[in-house]
Amino acid sequence: MTPKMNLFLSFIGIFCILTAGCLAPQAIPQTSPTPPPTTQSTPLPTTELPTPSPVNTPSIQFTRDEVYELFIDIAFGCDNTWVTMFSPSSENHLFISLEGEVNSSDIDFATRFAEEFNRIAPIEVFSEEPLNSRGSPIIFYPENSLNSLEKRFVTCQETDPVTGEPLSIIYKTVTELPNGDEETRTKIYLNANLAGVERNHYLQKAMLYYLGFPGQTYNYPESVFYYDSRSTVDFTQLDIEAMKTLYHPGIYPGMSVQEVRWLLFND
């Protein structure tokens, strides 16, 4: 073999060795994966949320018979043995005439009462202007004037249990007409010394009288109609339902207690 051939073969051998080293797969060093950093969690104290109280829906705490019994109590009073009611219509409204020692608070209270009663009654009883000089009279008189009224026309009165002074008086004058008939005119007198919520109570009581509720109850101390109340002006739900009964389609002026009882409890 010639020297040139030997040199060529040596070159080829060296080239193959170098090439094999470059093409051989390189081992990837095995490194264990770095675990994620751990954080120590301390459990937070848990506070149990309060259970919301159930919503109390208003429930009726009285029966139909209780409503009717209260109605009978308040529809008949010391001077009434039959139903006396104002029968409103689109052209006939009840008006109140405030007279005597009247103040602005009396006017405001009477106006608010009329608005409230219109919301209670199934039909409009008062007009938008419930006060009129030709309406049913409620007269605030000083005590000495109340004592000077003719006793024969006093059909019902309420007095202060301590002082004995009159608080309210139902006064019915009887006039003989030229044709021989008699005309009865009702006035309600209130003690002008009444003040505050007590004054409002008796003013409201007078208006309720003209509406057809001259009576009282001995069974419901929270009622506006409770016999021993001198300051209550807010109607209970039982009061409202009893007053609505006046507009029962079978009730009419002049009915007796027995007729009303038969109608309601056999309905």
At 80-117, the pLDDT tens digits run: 889 999 988 888 999 999 999 999 999 999 999 999 99
- Return d(Cα 203, Cα 139) in angstroms, integer: 10
Long-range contacts of 25-32 (CB under 8 A, 24+ apart): none
**Cβ contact 151:72 at 8 Å:** no
- Return d(Cα 253, Cα 85) in angstroms, integer: 6
All structural domains of the chain with their residue ranges: 62-85+215-267, 87-211
Mean pLDDT of 207-214: 97
Q: What is the chain's length?
A: 267
At 59 the pLDDT is 56
**Cβ contact 236:223 at 8 Å:** yes
Reported as a single tens digit per residue, the pLDDT across 7-34 is 444 444 444 444 444 434 444 444 444 4
Greater pLDDT, 132 or 14: 132
Strands 154-159 and 136-141 turn out to be unpaired
At 23 the pLDDT is 38
Mean pLDDT of 144-152: 93
Greater pLDDT, 164 or 20: 164
Reported as a single tens digit per residue, the pLDDT across 43-64 is 434 444 444 444 444 556 889 9
DSSP for the chain reads --HHHHHHHHHHHHHHHHHHHHHSPPPPP--PPPPPPP-PPPPPPP-PPPPPPPP------S-HHHHHHHHHHHHS-TT-SB------BTTB-EEEEEEES--HHHHHHHHHHHHHHHHHSSS--EEEEEE-TTSEEEEEE-HHHHHTS-GGGEEEEEE-TTT--EEEEEEEEEEE-TTS-EEEEEEEEEETT--HHHHHHHHHHHHHHHHT----BSS-TTSTTBTT-SS--SPPHHHHHHHHGGG-TT--TT-BHHHHHHHHHT-
**Cβ contact 153:174 at 8 Å:** yes
Could you tell me which of 97, 101, 66 has the C-alpha nearest to residue 264?
A: 66
Reported as a single tens digit per residue, the pLDDT across 219-267 is 999 999 999 999 999 999 999 999 999 999 999 999 999 999 999 998 7
Mean pLDDT of 127-139: 96
Percentage, residues of the chain above pLDDT 70: 78
